[in-house]
Amino acid sequence: MASDPNGPLLLLNARLADGRQGVRILIRDGRIAALEEGAAPAGETAAAAVFDLAGDLVLPGLVDGHMHLDKTLMGLPWTPHAAEPDRSSRIANDERLLPTLPLSTEARAGHLIRRSVAHGTAHIRTHVDITPAFGLSALEGVLAAREAHAGAVTVQIVAFPQAGVMRHGPRAVVDLLDAAVRAGAELVGGLDPCEIDRDPRGQLDAIFGIAERRGVGVDIHLHEPGELGLFSLQEICARTTALGMQGRVTVSHGFCLGGIAESKQHAAAEMMAAAGVALATHGAGGATLPPVMLLRRAGVRVFCGNDNVRDTWSPYSTGDMLERAAIIGWRADLRHDPLLEELFAMATSEGAAALGITEYGLAPGRPATFFTLPAENIPDAIGAHPPRRLVFHAGRLVARDGAYCGPGQEPLKAG
Amino acid sequence: MASDPNGPLLLLNARLADGRQGVRILIRDGRIAALEEGAAPAGETAAAAVFDLAGDLVLPGLVDGHMHLDKTLMGLPWTPHAAEPDRSSRIANDERLLPTLPLSTEARAGHLIRRSVAHGTAHIRTHVDITPAFGLSALEGVLAAREAHAGAVTVQIVAFPQAGVMRHGPRAVVDLLDAAVRAGAELVGGLDPCEIDRDPRGQLDAIFGIAERRGVGVDIHLHEPGELGLFSLQEICARTTALGMQGRVTVSHGFCLGGIAESKQHAAAEMMAAAGVALATHGAGGATLPPVMLLRRAGVRVFCGNDNVRDTWSPYSTGDMLERAAIIGWRADLRHDPLLEELFAMATSEGAAALGITEYGLAPGRPATFFTLPAENIPDAIGAHPPRRLVFHAGRLVARDGAYCGPGQEPLKAG
């Protein structure tokens, strides 16, 4: 938004992560105009709508770097998980179930977006299924949901070949992915080039070909375990370097990194750092967790996402990125405050950098995109992840006490 | 409590886990006097205090089968983790830090008890450090906290040799553990008999000796990985069988079960089932997760606990057993509704059975010990783990909207 239709906002008695208290935050034209201790200058209070934070902590908007907005079942009555316990069955189940649901992709994605915003999420990267069965329909639904919630959250879309690429022939999915990028997806995705397509060269050449031709980034789901996944990762890094795409390629999950010898973890981390390939993790669930701190120490960008939130793949997750950070930190054995601060960066600034959000952070001049909660500091906020009190996006109050109040709410039902 | 000083309570418009709605629950003399669909008989409504649940789900009280009430930092300002990343350093850190805290064991344990109750926990098994440095002081603090909160939660205490047993000589810790049992601990604990004591035979003979002499159960922390832990587990099962202690011995954590070949997992599960040795898990954090469903299918009792809640060992956990169940289910890859129902049993009835609580469950005649929350069914309650609305313990309202209102609250501070 270019301006605040309701004039400036003034937040008093804020606590910051660096320990400062009694801080005053002035929001003007959607940006942080002042952020400092001490009383407001004469006239400032009178000019603005005032919120007394009463000592609540203020943190920059959370970044959910890996979601599946199109698969969520939010907004529906409880829908039991219906797939068999393997990836192929889940893919087939999606094609069977999703088109029959009584809520559209747009409506379901909207429910999850609003829940995410109420948890303080400001920026989302979502994968959207692009398959022969769905064509671009899931993308169209998510694009509509994104449009409806513009001003409350940014949504970056990966055109995700959930049903594989080459197994449908040399062109069918490639053409769909290309069309998805032309229709508004900012990245092209991939999926287990060995296990799903049995043709790693074919899939990776195809998706990197789209990325090169259209000038978009790449984010590849890599569930392949151990040495198999490492092989695919090497191929991804080689193509990233060859095309000069450093900093614009992500491997999501990368479970293989948790299932190889420690010496190979180090070599893989150096390879990823040199190629500028990032890792997105949700904590790996039942799979092997990548060594997130080893990767960071080698210079790899690591960021976090919730992945499946109450959807056709999983009954779990609330969409809260602070709860997600707690799960990841618990699994990664991060106990000391400095490590918890790094963990928070993986759920905020590192994700923002991966998503290419240049104006990010709690500082004068930046967009007023932040949330408040009753916590002492960042480790406390992660450990307890209490409900968020106020959520602002670019200067606009978009959620309060867990209730979304931004644009794109469901119209009230008649009678 | 023998009676409800305020007379009967009537809950209307309850939803039950079996799908029934519009259910009426009458509480009289601390017990469920009626639990059925349909209108109240004439006179019942007039006689009772009435709560309209408005369709909220009612579930039996949660069982937290593995806690460390004496180590928590709840009630204190944020206290950064201070130990090095190994068990020995954490043990030494406890001895250094805990006695210097500005809140007593009783006060800190009370904070965590009240938080747990507000999350719907009705029954706790807590380990309490019994060490040469602490003697029985931690036990005395937890006993006092238990007494102060009687009527809101039951607390079962394991005399836990956190600093090892035999490494302090043949008698020092054994005598302390024996004294702890005489002072009120219901079980005797143990800890990694190979890694900590380097004397598995000595430690296990000593603690099973106390159990036999005093007629108490056993709950042993077993973090030892892979084949080493399996060796200790075999020794535990052998002693359990030899002493006829089937059903009264728990192995907590049992990470080793997640780090051995699948054929050995099956053999270990059969061994545990035959010996009547249960497993308590918190989801294993950074360690290997025991195969909880494989164990259950073999007949092993598996139950859940939060383990460390914001304490000297870990900055994580909120004390919520539904959130804990979600973490365990996510790691154990339990996605289907029937598996989520089994998971719920591990956080409720299986824990109650392990703790020896015979009168458990949501049924007429049983103690009115349950909680309400806005959820459709058990899978929904686990997946979303929304805040609890009402928590009753033996007919008494002990928490409401996240705020504890049972006995043992902190006195109001003066002026």
Asked if the Cβ–Cβ distance from B286 to A340 is below 8 Å, we say: no
Q: State whether residue A19 sits within 8 Å of chain B by CB.
A: no
Asked if the Cβ–Cβ distance from B315 to A77 is below 8 Å, we say: no
Give yes or no for residue A4 having a pLDDT over 60: no
Phi, psi torsion values for B145, nearest 5 degrees: -65, -40
The radius of gyration of chain B from alpha carbons, rounded to an integer in Å, stands at 21
Give yes or no for residue B415 having a pLDDT over 90: no
Please calculate the CA angle B368-B374-B380 and round it to the nearest 5 degrees: 100
H or E element: which one contains B23?
strand B23-28
Length of chain B: 415
Asked if the Cβ–Cβ distance from A80 to B285 is below 8 Å, we say: no
**Please, which pLDDT band fits residue B5 given cuts at 50, 70 and 90?**
low
H or E element: which one contains A342?
helix A337-346
Query: Which chain A residue is nearest to residue B286, measuring alpha carbons?
Result: A331
Mutant choice from B71, B74, B78, B318 vs A, greatest count of A C-beta within 10 A: B78
Alpha helices (H) along B98-249: 105-118, 137-148, 172-183, 200-214, 226-242
Query: What strand order describes the sheet that includes A187-191?
Result: A62-67, A121-129, A154-160, A187-191, A217-222, A249-253, A277-281, A302-304
Q: What is the pLDDT of residue A275?
A: 98
Residues of A in contact with B83 (CB under 8 A): 335
- DSSP classification of residue A360: -
Burial class (CB in 10 A: 0-12, 13-18, 19+), A415: exposed
Percent of chain A with pLDDT over 90: 92
Length of chain A: 415
Give yes or no for residue B3 having a pLDDT over 60: no
Asked if the Cβ–Cβ distance from B315 to A382 is below 8 Å, we say: yes
H or E element: which one contains B92?
helix B87-97
This complex has an ipTM of 0.96
- Name the residue among B91, B60, B145 with its Cα closest to residue B372: B60
Could you tell me where the beta strands, DSSP code E, fall in B206-344?
217-222, 249-253, 277-281, 302-304
Tens digit of pLDDT for each residue in B207-248?
A: 999 999 999 999 999 999 999 999 999 999 999 999 999 999
Q: Measured between alpha carbons, how far is residue B313 from residues A344, B61, B108, B309, B310 in Å?
A: 20, 27, 15, 8, 8
Give yes or no for residue A285 having a pLDDT over 80: yes
Query: How many other β-carbons are positioned within 10 Å of the β-carbon of residue B7?
Result: 12
Q: What is the pLDDT of residue B39?
A: 79
Calculate mean pLDDT across residues B8-32.
96
Q: Tell me which of A96-100, A224-228, A392-396, B239-243 is least confident.
A: A96-100
Give yes or no for residue A410 having a pLDDT over 70: no
Positive or negative, the Cα torsion across B238, B242, B247, B248?
negative
Q: Are strands B9-14 and B49-52 parallel, antiparallel or unpaired?
A: parallel
Helix axes B105-118, B137-148, angle to 10 degrees: 40
Q: Which residue has the tokens 């020794």?
A: B235
- Name the residue among B27, B12, B128 with its Cα closest to residue B392: B27
- Name the residue among B175, B190, B102, B182 with its Cα closest to residue B139: B182
As given in the structure block, the two tokens for residue B197 are: 């004591």
* Pair A301, A246: CB distance under 8 Å: no
Query: How many other β-carbons are positioned within 10 Å of the β-carbon of residue B147?
Result: 13
Asked if the Cβ–Cβ distance from A315 to B340 is below 8 Å, we say: yes
Calculate mean pLDDT across residues A298-327.
98
Percent of chain B with pLDDT over 70: 97
Alpha helices (H) along A215-301: 226-242, 262-275, 292-297
Does residue B413 or residue B286 have the better pLDDT? B286
**Please, which pLDDT band fits residue A7 given cuts at 50, 70 and 90?**
confident
Question: Can you spell out the DSSP letters for B335-390?
Answer: -SHHHHHHHHHHTTHHHHHHTT--S-SSSTTSB--EEEES-SSHHHHHHH-PPP-E
Query: What strand order describes the sheet that includes B57-60?
Result: B57-60, B370-373, B390-393, B396-400, B403-404
Identify which of A83, A285, A382 has the shortest CB distance to residue B330: A285
| Cα–Cα distance for residue pair A347/A125, rounded to 1 Å | 12
| Cα–Cα distance for residue pair A313/A332, rounded to 1 Å | 23
Q: Measured between alpha carbons, how far is residue B62 from residues A98, B233, B335, B352 in Å?
A: 34, 28, 21, 9
Tell which phi-psi region holds residue A7, choosing left (phi > 0), alpha (psi between -120 and 50) or beta. Answer: left
Give yes or no for residue A212 having a pLDDT over 80: yes
Tens digit of pLDDT for each residue in A23-79?
A: 999 999 999 999 999 877 777 777 779 999 999 999 999 999 999 999 999 999 999
Query: Which chain B residue is nearest to residue A378, measuring alpha carbons?
Result: B78
- DSSP classification of residue B168: G
Give yes or no for residue B117 having a pLDDT over 90: yes
**Please, which pLDDT band fits residue A325 given cuts at 50, 70 and 90?**
very high
d(CA B309, nearest CA chain A) in Å: 9
> SS3 of A154, please?
strand
pTM of the model: 0.97
As given in the structure block, the two tokens for residue A360 are: 């990010």
* Pair A127, A161: CB distance under 8 Å: no
The radius of gyration of chain A from alpha carbons, rounded to an integer in Å, stands at 21
Residues of B in contact with A380 (CB under 8 A): 78
- Name the residue among A334, A368, A384, A290 with its Cα closest to residue A122: A368
Calculate mean pLDDT across residues B255-259.
98
Query: Which chain B residue is nearest to residue A19, measuring alpha carbons?
Result: B78
Position B413, amino acid: K
Tens digit of pLDDT for each residue in A140-163?
A: 999 999 999 999 999 999 999 999
| Cα–Cα distance for residue pair A257/A224, rounded to 1 Å | 10
Q: Which residues contact B135 (CB under 8 A, 6 or more apart)?
A: B176
* Pair A398, A390: CB distance under 8 Å: no
d(CA B72, nearest CA chain A) in Å: 13
Tens digit of pLDDT for each residue in A387-400?
A: 999 999 999 999 99
| Cα–Cα distance for residue pair B372/B367, rounded to 1 Å | 15
Tens digit of pLDDT for each residue in B42-81?
A: 777 777 789 999 999 999 999 999 999 999 999 999 999 9
Identify which of A316, A335, A376 has the shortest CB distance to residue B78: A376
Q: Which residues contact A242 (CB under 8 A, 6 or more apart)?
A: none
> Which residues are bridge partners to A281 per DSSP?
A304
Q: What is the pLDDT of residue B1?
A: 40
Give yes or no for residue B315 having a pLDDT over 70: yes
Q: Which of residues 230-289 of A touch B (CB under 8 A)?
A: 285-286, 289
Calculate mean pLDDT across residues B168-172.
95
Position A306, amino acid: N
* Pair B70, B110: CB distance under 8 Å: no
Mutant choice from A330, A344, A378, A382 vs B, greatest count of B C-beta within 10 A: A330
